[in-house]
Amino acid sequence: MNGTIDGFSYGLVTPLAAYVMACLGSALGLRCVVRTVHRDPGWRVGWLSLGAASLGCGIWTMHFIAMTGFSVRQTPITYDVPLTVLSLVVAIVVVSAGVFIVGYRGAAPATLTLAGGITGMGVAAMHYLGMSAMRLNGDIRYDKLTVALSVVIALVAATAALWAAVSVRGFLRSLGASLVMGLAVSGMHYTGMAALSVHLHTGTAQAADGPSGVSLLLPMLLGPVVFLILAGVVVMFDPVLVLGDGTWNKPISRRAVAADSPNSAVGAGRQSSPVPRTGWCRD
């Protein structure tokens, strides 16, 4: 007997909240990569690490916020804690590999293909590893064609996001790329969920060992959400990311440099001006 699956137990609340977190993580990740590719590469390792962690946490948070709205009417759902934590680690580590490849090797087609493939597979691995952490009174089965489609979406979304990070300039364009990336990641998640079916075991439904979805996921989501907020504060206080090509970071004009040079007429006039001395000054 197949279970009745409901992916929207709380209506549009969980899909919208998941999309917002995916956009937030994507925006922070892309802006940090932009910081190292188009601007002063100082502290490159730190910025790329922050971007990769933000992107990984955003994707993971999106997935499990969406999972709080997932239910099977005939059986309770619990989660395996180590596998759930491992899915977060996989998301951050694999996404970091793709981000660092682009951050250090640039936007060549071969580089983007490699980095996008690694990052996309990391997103897909995080999703299906998180799904394998579910425990219920039945067997979880997947439609192979729909699973393959979800993996393709993850690969395309990851490659497009990394391309945007190294190619799109300007705050509004980066924001637009983040919104598209959030939509693609959410689309990958719900495509993967559409591939799922539950074949219930015969007999009375019994709760599996482990904490229930809400009691486990809500406390676990707190840490990544706080991290994303703190990462957002760091990005907001970095003038390179906030002000972009403002006058504060433009090089001094040649005229201004010449005016300050002792070899120029203006500079020579400044240097030849005698310094007034008072009677108490010593040579």
Q: What DSSP assignment string belongs to 257-273?
A: HHHH-TTSHHHHHHHHS
Please provide residue 245's backbone torsions phi and psi, each rounded to the nearest 5 degrees. -95, 40
**CA distance to 25, 40, 101, 137, 276, per residue, from 92 (Å):** 11, 25, 14, 31, 64
Q: Give the DSSP letter of residue 9.
A: T
Which structure tokens are listed for 198?
A: 């539950």
Give the span between the Cα atoms of 127 and 90, in whole angstroms.
Answer: 10
Report yes or no: 156 and 164 within 8 Å, Cβ to Cβ.
no
pLDDT by residue for the chain (283 residues), tens digit each? 788 898 898 888 999 999 999 999 988 888 888 777 665 556 788 888 998 899 889 999 999 899 988 989 888 888 888 999 999 999 899 889 988 998 888 778 899 899 999 989 988 999 999 999 998 889 999 999 999 999 999 999 888 888 877 777 677 777 888 888 888 889 999 999 999 999 998 765 454 555 555 666 777 788 888 899 898 888 887 766 555 544 334 443 444 444 444 454 444 444 444 444 444 444 4
Quote the pLDDT of residue 239. Answer: 65
Quote the pLDDT of residue 24. Answer: 92
| Residue 208: burial class (beta carbons within 10 Å; 0-12, 13-18, 19+) | middle
Quote the pLDDT of residue 213. Answer: 59
Quote the pLDDT of residue 163. Answer: 84
